[in-house]
Amino acid sequence: MVKALVWLMLTALSGGGVVIYALYQQYEEQSAEFRILYRDITVKLSQNDVILALLSNSSDPAVVQKKFPYILRWQTKPHEPPRPDINPARAGTYWINSPQGSLLIDLPTLLADFVRSQKFRHLSLSWQGTPLLTQGAEGKGDWWRWEKEVASPSQPLNLLVTNNPDWRSLPWFMLALLGIFWAVVIYFYNQYQATKRQRHIADLRAHFSELARLNTMGEIAAGMVHELNQPLTAVLSYSQTAQRLIKQQQAEKAEPLLDAAVMQTKRISSLLLAFREKLHSDEQTLQPVDLRQIWTRVVMLLGNEIERGNVSVINKIPESLPSLMASPLGIEQIFHNLLNNAIQAQQQTDKAWVTVSASQTESHIILTVTDGGPGLSEQALQQVFMPFFTTKKEGLGLGMALTETLVQRYNGSIQADNSATGGACFTLIFPLIQSEA
Ligand SMILES: Nc1ncnc2c1ncn2[C@@H]1O[C@H](COP(=O)(O)OP(=O)(O)OP(=O)(O)O)[C@@H](O)[C@H]1O
Ligand SMILES: [Mg+2]
């Protein structure tokens, strides 16, 4: 709609300009024609004065009539009583008077050639308001009008012509071309704008994907720090204890500690491998994962902390639970973060406990991790999954944010609540379709 209006406006403006120019040209041409006509009539009328001076009584009327058919009568003595300078006798004829004599001129015959060949719509010659010669329609409403008195002392007749523009000879073809020209210009301008917009969108998209990539890199770095922190601490602690035992000549007691250190180191290695894969691609190969088995492994990995905190861990995941299509390391990270938080939350609790249970509906697996700690504060309930939300002195506030990302990667959801006994209760729901292995 706007385009059509713009097209109409441009065409009207440029078309108007062309029409005005064409009319101006016509006006100039016709002004020139008027000047020629005026000059010719002036010359023709001036001849009458010469003829009047040359005629004498001896002139043969037949010869004069033949040579000058527009001289109807003449006399070589002045009129008595004197006639006015020009005496309009009857329509189209008038007397010219001079001391030498008088001539009766028939104006239509005198000017027959000019009048016939002129193209004006209206032409008139008059003397003091009395029309002597009129040609064409009256022409009062005509567009253009030229008027001038003939420069002859004896015949100061008034010449008036009018005319209208010749609409048919306006450059209609050019006007049509202008319409087409503007349509083409608007079309290409639109195309140019559309391409520019697309290029801009593409630039923005590239910019955003670069930002997203940087964001992912940041996430990965933060995730690495968080996930590697615990196993590294565990390895250090196992190794230092083993070192001490060996020094005390109790090498046999050091062996299980070194085994645990090896296990934690392997975990570090597989975490690094997973992060490296994530750097190359976001896709992970999914495989059937036995949740019960992974939970047992995580309990083993956090054995040190569980022992130190005297936490009883209860595994209520039924053996019959179908396996879930996921990455074992991913599920391990989820359980690790949940169990670690539960242990940390119960450092001041006498009877610390953590229970994991699982059930299955027609389409989902539902997992709950409940603990005997103080539970989540009002603020923690709102922000527990937000990166960098922490209430701990040494905490990064990334564990639950990473956990939520991982759960969502397997199309699941996670919710934080407080249980009836006051402790925290995390509910994880995974769609069962993925568990068809
Ligand atoms: N089981 C829980 N009981 C009570 N509060 C919890 C529990 N789990 C999480 N929270 C609260 O949620 C916050 C965020 O947990 P999150 O694991 O994301 O970070 P963090 O444990 O503080 O630090 P880190 O990044 O080292 O794990 C905790 O600081 C704590 O206040
Ligand atoms: Mg944590």
* pLDDT category of residue 147 using cuts at 50, 70 and 90: very high
Residue 243 confidence (pLDDT) above 90: yes
Domains of the chain: 2-169 (no CATH), 201-283 (1.10.287), 284-437 (3.30.565.10)
What was the pLDDT predicted at 273? Answer: 85
Mean pLDDT, the chain, integer: 88
How far does residue 119's CA lie from ligand 1's centre (Å)?
103
- Between CA 129 and CA 50 the distance in angstroms is 26
Percent of the chain with pLDDT over 90: 53
Cβ–ligand 1 distance for 88 under 6 Å, the answer no
Lowest mean pLDDT among 91-100, 126-135, 140-149, 427-436: 427-436
Question: Where do we find the tokens 């008195």?
Answer: 149
pLDDT digits (tens, 9 = 90+) for 279-310: 665 566 789 999 999 999 999 989 888 999 99
Cβ–ligand 1 distance for 388 under 6 Å, the answer no
Cβ–ligand 1 distance for 109 under 6 Å, the answer no
Segment 1-5 shows an average pLDDT of 89
What was the pLDDT predicted at 417? Answer: 96
How far does residue 392's CA lie from ligand 2's centre (Å)?
9
Hey, what amino acid is at 243?
Q
The set of residues, in sequence order, having a beta carbon less than 8 Å from that of 132 and lying 6+ positions away, is 88, 91, 92, 93, 94, 107, 125, 126, 157
- Between CA 161 and CA 288 the distance in angstroms is 105
Residue 257 confidence (pLDDT) above 80: yes
**Which residue out of 232, 311, 341 has the highest number of ligand 1 atoms within 8 Å of its CB and is therefore the one to mutate?**
341
How far does residue 342's CA lie from ligand 1's centre (Å)?
8
What was the pLDDT predicted at 160? Answer: 93
Report the nearest-CA residue for atom 20 of ligand 1.
Answer: 397
